[in-house]
Structure 1
Amino acid sequence: MEHFTTSPTEILLLIFLAIVFLQSGIDKIVDWKGNLSWLTGHFSKTFLKGMVPILLGTVLVAEMASGILSVLGIHEFLCLGESPFAFYGAMLSAITLLLLLFGQRVAKDYEGAKTIVIYLVPTLFLVFLLQ
């Protein structure tokens, strides 16, 4: 735990990303049909309407990978005091959030897009800290 005191901001932000993305990914796995149904309606009037299942699968993989890399980054930080996995997790998390932001903007769900920005700001701060 000695490394926690040298990089607490990075570790806490990685915990944040692990919670956000693993919970979201697990929710998509557990309630695939419900998520697919809701998103199909959400994108019904956009050019993405025929691609919802593949896009949902892509987001699921990106979220789970972001969460897993964040957990690996936490472990490495605690054991070694530094972590390439943390940087990869932060970068993939930022990319995943940008994908989600793009989808919300395409669907003209501007409130949803604003919510994603709330997650994007600390994620970009973590990328900055880890570069």
Structure 2
Amino acid sequence: MLNLQTYITEILILVFILITFLQSGIDKITDWKGNTGWLKEHFSKTFLAGQVPLMVGTILILEVITGILAVVGIFQLITTGELLFALYTCILAAITLLMLLFGQRVAKDYVGAFTICGYFIVVIFGVYILS
């Protein structure tokens, strides 16, 4: 119980990442056609237009891995106080968000890009306090 109190901020950030990324990954799995269809239109006037299925697949894999790492990180923080997987989770989440931000900027979806910044702030704070 002491680790739960000691690392509560880190654990809450990891729970945030877990919910955000795992839900997004599950949504892509359960509605692949809907997601890729919408994104094909979203990127239709960009140099990424022909790469949508590859991009969605890449993001899907990163989101699921990030969600799994978050579970491992939470477990390790609570049981042993080990920070390594928690840090890896936040770093991978930051990289994934930067990829998403790049896509939104290329598509000139500035509102969508701005929304990602809120997630990025939480994640980069996690990187900061865990490193």
TM bin, normalised by shorter chain, reads over 0.9
Residue of structure 2 in register with 1:125 after alignment: 125
Give the secondary structure class of the aligned counterpart of 1:76. helix
Structure 1 unpaired stretches of 5+: none
* Residues 98-127 of structure 1 deviation map (CA, whole Å, 9 limit, x = unaligned): 000000000000000000000000100000
Match runs of 1:15-94 below 5 Å? 15-94=15-94
Report the Cα offset of residue 84 of structure 1. Answer: 1.1
Q: Which amino acid aligns with 2:10?
A: E
Question: Which shifted more, 80-89 or 29-38?
Answer: 80-89
TM score, norm. by length of structure 2: 0.98
* Residues 3-29 of structure 1 deviation map (CA, whole Å, 9 limit, x = unaligned): 111111000000000000000000000
User: How much is the aligned-residue C-alpha RMSD, in angstroms?
Assistant: 0.6
Report the Cα offset of residue 53 of structure 1. Answer: 0.4
Q: What is the distance in 2 between the residues matched to 1:22 and 1:73?
A: 14
Q: How many residues align?
A: 131
Q: What is the distance in 2 between the residues matched to 1:125 and 1:117?
A: 12
Report the Cα offset of residue 82 of structure 1. Answer: 2.0
Residue of structure 2 in register with 1:113 after alignment: 113
Give the secondary structure class of the aligned counterpart of 1:52. helix
TM score, norm. by length of structure 1: 0.98
Structure 2 unpaired stretches of 5+: none
Q: What is the distance in 2 between the residues matched to 1:107 and 1:10?
A: 33
Give the secondary structure class of the aligned counterpart of 1:61. helix
Identical aligned residues as a percent: 57
- After TM superposition, the runs of 4+ consecutive aligned structure 1 residues lying more than 2 A away are none
